[in-house]
Amino acid sequence: MRLVAAVTLLLAAAGAAAENQRLLKQRVWLLGGVPAESTLAALRAAGVDGLVLPVGRVELGDASSRFALAQLPDLSVLSGWSVTLLVWVEGSGKVSGDPSDFALQFIPLQRGIRGSEGLLLACRGFFPGLAGFATGVAARLGRPVELALPVQDLAQHMPVGGWPSVRPVAVAFGNPSALGFPLSTLQDDLAALDSLEAMRAAYRAAIIVAPSAAPPPGPAGVSLNVLSSAETATFNPGARGNVFRLRRPVDWGGVPLPVGQSITVEIIDTAMYHRDLGMLLRAVRPLLEGWDTVGLPESEPTLGMSREAFLEYLAGDEPYPRPKVEIEWPRPSAIHVTLANPTAQASTLATTGNWVELRFTGTELRDVQLGEFTGVEYGKVDGHGAWHLTAAREATAVRLYLTLVPPQARIGGLVAFLTQPREVTARWNLRLGDGMDITGPLKSVTFSKR
């Protein structure tokens, strides 16, 4: 199964016509540089249609356009790809720059990049002179250009029918603040997208998946796993990002951080990306031509959705972990419990949302050794499946908690009983970044020696 099949399922579930399913195309913005050929091959195999390559920025003044070219890497690996060149636009007020001067500087650059098929101008906020610059550049180049803006700016300022020779790209959902776009809510972006449909102009949408952190990690890369232990940091979820306060020094991607340092992290994981795509790919958007994933995720260790998780999802896998509970009996009255996550996906951070539950009969608990688990609760499960806390001596079930289930992880602990249980059953639960929980089936555990 490939991404195109997953998109077909999303659209079909919403009642979209087959024609819309065929027309939608995906691009990926290469904000972190050109990836290896193997990554490009995986993107192509998963159904990605094109790439967006940043080439510089232009600062608009009164009748002037100051174009600063970015340092470009070897682009030979992009041969055979449809490449759209990205230029960030900076300006304010009514200034519309000098479209002719910019075009004269841009045309030789475009001719020198094989596979280049268009220009995408991106701006973090609308200003009155921007539309004039974009339409002027399109006229000088003799073909349409794209203009990426926050979706709410487009809904507010774009005229019915759109600007002449300008194809809008609506930045919506995701993590906009990671690239300096204004904060927004899912509901506001949804309303703005609905308004775009009334403009009678075809458009694309762009979802920013880049993470943000303050302070930013060093170049070595880092994952949230380094902060997930209660001994390492306190954890406070917020409406915009999670806040950690260090109890121990931490190597933050090669940058040492001291005790007491606060770290704010805002991420998009695969479950959130899947949710955002589901809201975007609705049958009520007949003018939507496709979508952009803004920022090819970095490889592990990284914050949020990793490159491995992204490619796994594009290949058709689920946007969340599919763990299993493994049980070994070091002795008849003790169970070694392992939660194994073989996927590249991770759970979200949660104090009580990630757990393994063991139910038992015919004995009592003696001891629990947490191992790599972060907490424990004792309780009973009623006939409706509801969990009720009890004292340890009265428990007929135990829950082992994890603040985070990392990708490709095995987390283990030990549960000891007074005597060998008559029956043991196990299940798991994970909290996802989109706020949903997934629960594994309740399975019987058979006695087996190590």
pTM above 0.75, yes or no: yes
Query: What pLDDT is attached to residue 114?
Result: 83
For the segment 405-429, the average pLDDT, to the nearest whole number, is: 96
Q: Is 324-445 assigned to CATH 2.60.40?
A: yes
Question: What SS3 string covers the chain?
Answer: CCHHHHHHHHHHHCCCCHHHHHHCEEEEECCCCCCCHHHHHHHHHCCCCEEEEEEEEEEEECCEEEEEECCCCCCHHHCCCCEEEEEEEECCCCCCCCHHHHHHHHHHHHHCCCCEEEEEEECCCCCHHHHHHHHHHHHHHCCCEEEEEEHHHHHHHCCCCCCCCEEEEEECCCCHHHHCCCCCCHHHHHHHHHHHHCCCCCEEEEEECCCEEECCCCCCCCCHHHHCCCCCEEEEECCCCEEEEECCCEEECCEEECCCCEEEEECCCHHHHHHHHHHHCCCCCCCEEEEEEECCCCCCCCCCCCHHHHHHHHCCCCCCCCCEEEEEEEECCEEEEEEEECCCCCCCCCCCCCEEEEEEECCCEEEEECCCCCEEEEEEECCCCCEEECCHHHCCEEEEECCCCCCCEEEEEEEEECCCCCEEEEEEEEECCCCCEEECCCEEECCCEC
Indicate the pLDDT class of residue 447, thresholds 50, 70 and 90: low
Query: What pLDDT is attached to residue 254?
Result: 95
Segment 74-100, tens digit of pLDDT: 999 999 999 999 999 999 999 999 999
pLDDT above 80 (res 401): yes
Indicate the pLDDT class of residue 385, thresholds 50, 70 and 90: confident
Indicate the pLDDT class of residue 115, thresholds 50, 70 and 90: confident
Query: What pLDDT is attached to residue 134?
Result: 97
pLDDT above 80 (res 446): no
Architecture of the structural domain at 3-211+267-314: Alpha-Beta Barrel (3.20)
Query: What pLDDT is attached to residue 7?
Result: 53
Segment 331-371, tens digit of pLDDT: 999 999 999 999 999 999 998 999 999 999 999 999 999 99
In this chain, the answer to whether the domains covering 3-211+267-314 and 324-445 adopt an identical fold is no
Delimit the domains of the chain by residue range: 3-211+267-314, 215-265, 324-445
Segment 215-264, tens digit of pLDDT: 999 999 999 999 988 889 988 887 667 899 999 999 999 999 999 999 99
Q: Provide, rounded to the nearest whole percent, the portion of the chain with pLDDT above 90.
A: 86
Segment 117-161, tens digit of pLDDT: 899 999 999 999 999 999 999 999 999 999 999 999 999 999 999
Query: What pLDDT is attached to residue 262?
Result: 95
pLDDT above 90 (res 69): yes
Query: Which candidate, 275, 250, 272, places its Cα nearest to that of 262?
Result: 250
Segment 2-15, tens digit of pLDDT: 454 455 445 444 44
pLDDT above 60 (res 450): no
